[in-house]
Amino acid sequence: MAHGKFGTAINCMDGRVQLPVIEWMKKQYKLDYVDMITEPGADKAVSCGWYERIEEIKAKALISVNAHGSRTIIIAGHDDCAGNPVTPEQHKANLRDAVKTVLSWNLPLETVGAIWINKDWRVEPLEIK
């Protein structure tokens, strides 16, 4: 098992939202490291992507959970997203559905949640289970 406390983010590939997600998660969950699974428009990919695409994301999450002992998965969506160019309201609906997808994986997690990164690049917790 790797040393340190790990969490897992399923985040957009967008360079503007990497550090905000990492910094928020490290502070919120007292983590040493955040494993980053990135997809363009990750909230859409996990909530309503093709089966194969969701399975690939799940396989990456499993590595983080099994090899690094992560017990926290956070799905992030953000304003001005080129990978999922919809309204903030639609993003938030995608994020809530994405939480349901991750819960359906039945991983040994303590926390599954969704966060919204607003136009000021600040994190708004949306739904934490």
75 binds Zn ion (CB under 5 A): no
Phi (first) and psi of residue 55, to 5 degrees = -65, -35
Distance CA 108, CA 93 (A): 25
Which residues have C-beta within 8 Å of that of residue 108, sequence separation ≥ 6?
Answer: 65, 71
81 binds Zn ion (CB under 5 A): yes
CB 48, min distance to Zn ion, A: 15
Instruction: Give the range of 9-17, 18-26, 106-114, 120-128 binding Zn ion by CB under 5 A.
Output: 9-17
CB 113, min distance to Zn ion, A: 18
Nearer to Zn ion, 14 or 35 (CB): 14
Nearer to Zn ion, 2 or 19 (CB): 19
Which residues have C-beta within 8 Å of that of residue 60, sequence separation ≥ 6?
Answer: 37
Taking residue 120's Cβ as centre, other Cβ atoms within 10 Å add up to: 8
Q: Which residues bind Zn ion (CB under 5 A)?
A: 12, 14, 81, 83
